Amino acid sequence: MGSTYRMWGWGRDAGDEPTMQSLAGLAPVLRDHLGIDVHEPEAPAPLPPLPADRVGSRLPAPLRAFASDDPLDRAAHSLGRAYRDVVRGIRGQVDSPVDCVLRPRNEDDVERAIAWCSDEQVALVPYSGGTSVVGGIEPRDADLGQGVVSLDLGGLSGILEIDDVSRAVRVRAGTPGPQLEDELRPAGLTARFYPQSFERSTVGGWVATRAAGHFSTRLTHIDDIVESVRAFAPIGIWESRRLPGSGAGPSPDRMLLGSEGSLGVVTEVWLRVQPRPTERWAATLAADTFERGGLAVRRLMHDGLLPATCRLIDARESAVSGTLSSGEAALVLGFESYGAPVDAEAERALSLCSDEGLRVVEAGARGGSGEAWRSSFVRAPYLREQLVLLGLLVETFETAITWDRFDSFVESVSAATEEALRVICGAGTVTCRLTHVYVDGAAPYFTVTAPTRRGAEIEQWDAVKAAASNAVIAAGGTITHHHAVGRDHHPWYDVQRPAPFAAALRAAKAAVDPRGVLNPGVIAS
């Protein structure tokens, strides 16, 4: 078998796969830049034989028409893109492969697949972009003894309807971010939703995981732009009414948000959209400490300013990303609008930041150090797989906390994670940035980089991850701000959620999915 890149890589074609030559050239640069020794480049292993398909021979003819049992196809649908997934994919280690992949062509196919899986007690794992970093699509807990299928919704893509009057669009769940924007562009519209996974992730995946976009304030969570959701469950179709708002009890579409495919398979979504921005302004400011930068950000929020970009990056990450090399924390600000000038808001933001002791590095048009950070953000998934091939542990975790606990929270979580790295890996670094900010708090996003022992990487990361997660929960944060729960976060999610709510969620799962076939092991467990 040829390249296994599509099983573990971020790119979409063979040209994106790192070469041994490029990795060898990168190694000395990393040693100098990160101060961490790296291994010789690892050549990806071929895919070994997978367990026999338990499902394919049992599929009725209508389902066989869009089924695949190709080994690489099965493997690629059994791993997400967390660090542990990339490591295992590179080594051809697929612990719990799905038995087959179903690619429905329309909603009738989706309905048939769900009905058959429920009747036959075969687990069904919804799949779209495959970008989960929390074990959301890996069927490690989904084996009901009768098999597991991956329901790939990539064939259900594209905008179906544009409502110019209400400024909303009806879009199929398998639509990737770039396609959504391409189809909105002729109408002068945008969904304004750009998660780091934008290149690969899809509308349905955003809804199922309660994803957040790139923008730091205002309409940044998928919750903010969802108008209605249509999903299929074993007991029927679950579609919420299109409304600008409603006080009619718990919202049916809000219940599907973040349900991770455990309550229904999302097939269509109505999204609120807006005109494409015409005015933009950006600035990079320097703060002598991360804490001082946090004070400035809080003041911006309390003043009522809503910058599109408000990323506070600690000094270490700022230097590594090329944002600032002065040993200071960087605050990357950006304002945008689709008509109104942004000058007054920009001037007010600079004044408030100056009052807190920040200095302006540059301001005005996009470019320079702020653009360096944005470029680093977009390329990060590609760089990470190169670092993994060179034997580095590179992973992130994110959370949210209120402002009154912010400084002590960042300090305690960073210290606990750094101590875990010292004990488990012998060394390593932890950096922090703010990705999203609110009037009452912020979302700290931590990046971990450390040396590894070849062959022990997964065990090392699992131990570090556990230490970091324990620290987050102990300090009062959430186990996830926008990466979802999946299977990896479930132990800490169980601690975070109230027991009566957990019981209610399990009861909802039993009601809409009586045989428990929809993505078992995730959030409704």
320: left (phi over 0), alpha (psi -120 to 50) or beta: alpha
Torsion of CA 366, 368, 371, 376, to 10 degrees: 180
Q: Are residues 266 and 327 in the same domain?
A: no
Identify the helix (H) or strand (E) that includes residue 435. Answer: strand 429-437
Question: Does some domain include residue 266?
Answer: yes
- 419 vs 89, 148, 231, 393, CA distance in Å? 28, 39, 44, 15
Contact partners, residue 468, CB within 8 Å, separation at least 6: 397, 413, 416, 417, 420, 446, 448
CA–CA separation, 46 vs 133, rounded Å?
A: 23
Q: Count of domains in the chain? A: 3
Q: Are residues 196 and 284 in the same domain?
A: no
Rg (CA), the chain: 23
Eight-state DSSP code of residue 287: E
pLDDT, tens digit, 9 for 90 and up, residues 166-179 = 999 999 999 999 99
Eight-state DSSP code of residue 187: G
CA–CA separation, 427 vs 421, rounded Å?
A: 6
Q: Are residues 341 and 270 in the same domain?
A: no
Eight-state DSSP code of residue 402: E
Task: Provide the 10 A C-beta neighbour count for residue 452.
Answer: 25
**Which DSSP string corresponds to 250-265?**
S-HHHHHTT-TTSS-E
Q: What is the CATH number of the domain that holds 248?
A: 3.30.465.10
Question: Does some domain include residue 510?
Answer: no
Q: What is the CATH number of the domain that holds 130?
A: 3.30.43.10
CA–CA separation, 357 vs 11, rounded Å?
A: 42
Q: What is the CATH number of the domain that holds 429?
A: 3.40.462.40
Spatial CA neighbour of 197 closest among 215, 211, 216: 211
CA–CA separation, 95 vs 124, rounded Å?
A: 17
Cβ-contact 323, 369 below 8 angstroms = yes
Question: Does some domain include residue 214?
Answer: yes
Cβ-contact 514, 234 below 8 angstroms = yes
Question: Does some domain include residue 305?
Answer: yes
Question: Does some domain include residue 148?
Answer: yes
Residues in the chain: 525
Q: Are residues 390 and 424 in the same domain?
A: yes
Cβ-contact 480, 398 below 8 angstroms = yes
pLDDT at 300: 98
Question: Does some domain include residue 480?
Answer: no
Q: Are residues 119 and 17 in the same domain?
A: yes
HSE, side-chain direction, 13 A CA sphere, residue 385: 26
Which residues, listed in sequence order, are joined to residue 309 by a DSSP beta bridge?
334
Q: Are residues 205 and 128 in the same domain?
A: no
pLDDT, tens digit, 9 for 90 and up, residues 319-352 = 988 899 999 999 999 999 998 999 999 999 999 9
Q: Are residues 202 and 256 in the same domain?
A: yes
HSE, side-chain direction, 13 A CA sphere, residue 441: 16
> What are the pLDDT tens digits along the chain (525 aa)?
579 999 999 997 778 999 999 999 998 888 887 778 889 999 999 999 999 999 999 999 999 999 999 999 999 999 999 999 999 999 999 999 999 999 999 999 999 999 999 999 999 999 999 999 999 999 987 677 789 999 999 999 999 999 999 999 999 999 999 999 999 999 999 999 999 999 999 999 999 999 999 999 999 999 999 999 999 999 999 999 999 999 999 999 999 999 999 999 999 999 999 999 999 999 999 999 999 999 999 999 999 999 999 999 999 999 988 899 999 999 999 999 998 999 999 999 999 999 999 999 999 866 555 566 566 677 889 999 999 999 999 999 999 999 999 999 999 999 999 999 999 999 999 999 999 999 999 999 999 999 999 999 999 999 999 999 999 999 999 999 999 999 999 999 999 999 999 999 999 999 999 999 999 999 988
CA–CA separation, 308 vs 306, rounded Å?
A: 6
pLDDT at 34: 77
pLDDT at 31: 80
- 344 vs 63, 279, 310, CA distance in Å? 59, 12, 17
Cβ-contact 88, 45 below 8 angstroms = no
Q: What is the largest CA-CA distance in the chain?
A: 70
Q: Which domain holds residue 132?
A: 5-154
Which residues, listed in sequence order, are joined to residue 436 by a DSSP beta bridge?
443
Question: Does some domain include residue 518?
Answer: no
CA–CA separation, 284 vs 152, rounded Å?
A: 41
Q: Are residues 215 and 289 in the same domain?
A: no
Q: Are residues 421 and 303 in the same domain?
A: yes
**Which DSSP string corresponds to 21-73?**
HHHHHHHHHHHHHH----PPPPPPPPPPPPPPPSSGGGS-HHHHTTEE--HHH
Q: Are residues 70 and 80 in the same domain?
A: yes
Q: Are residues 162 and 147 in the same domain?
A: no
Cβ-contact 433, 317 below 8 angstroms = yes
Cβ-contact 275, 190 below 8 angstroms = yes
Angle between helices 406-425 and 290-302 (to 10 degrees): 140
Question: Does some domain include residue 486?
Answer: no
pLDDT at 374: 63
Q: Are residues 411 and 301 in the same domain?
A: yes
